[in-house]
Amino acid sequence: MDQKPAPTDDAILYYLEDLSVGMTATYARTVTDADIVLFAGVSGDTNPIHLNQEYASGTMFQGRIAHGIMTAAFISAVLGTRLPGPGAVYMSQNLRFKAPVRVGDTVTARATITDVISEKRRVALNTVCTIGDKVVVEGDALLMVPSRA
């Protein structure tokens, strides 16, 4: 799909009437140690699996992993800035965590419209985060989208 450039202000990128099934957008980010530390501070989730290498080495993951919800937040970046973009409001998000994310991994979040419910101004989307070909988070979302009407 050809993407409009992301707006530089709070302008709406897509109105409900602009959307159709199959439209897709992505957001990619390489996870850093600072991302994990800052997310722990903001969220209050200081579980040592995320912050303490010695502790995390003794777990099934054999090392530190990023917060699953931080990874899922990359989906929010797609929805809030690219498709549908500014003005869209989350109504629900279902998530299934499939694999860990570690410092240095580049996560690509993808959202694909699966249904446009015009009468309710809703859009349903399939959401997935991957590292290369490996799915790390998958799910679906429902958003309320502004209409021109």
Which domains are delineated in the chain? 19-31+68-144 (3.10.129.10)
Residues 22 and 128: their CA atoms lie apart, in Å, by 14
pLDDT digits (tens, 9 = 90+) for 52-71: 999 999 999 999 999 999 99
Across the range 42-53, mean pLDDT stands at: 98
pTM above 0.85, yes or no: yes
Is the pLDDT score of 93 beyond 70?
yes
Which one is predicted more confidently, 5 or 78?
78
Task: Give the containing element (helix H, strand E) for 87.
Answer: none
Q: Could you tell me the two tokens for 86?
A: 């500014």
At residue 21, the pLDDT reads: 98
CB burial string 111-129: b at 16+ within 10 A, e below: bbbeebeeeebebbbebbb
Residue 2 has pLDDT above 70, yes or no: no
Whether pLDDT at 6 is above 60: no
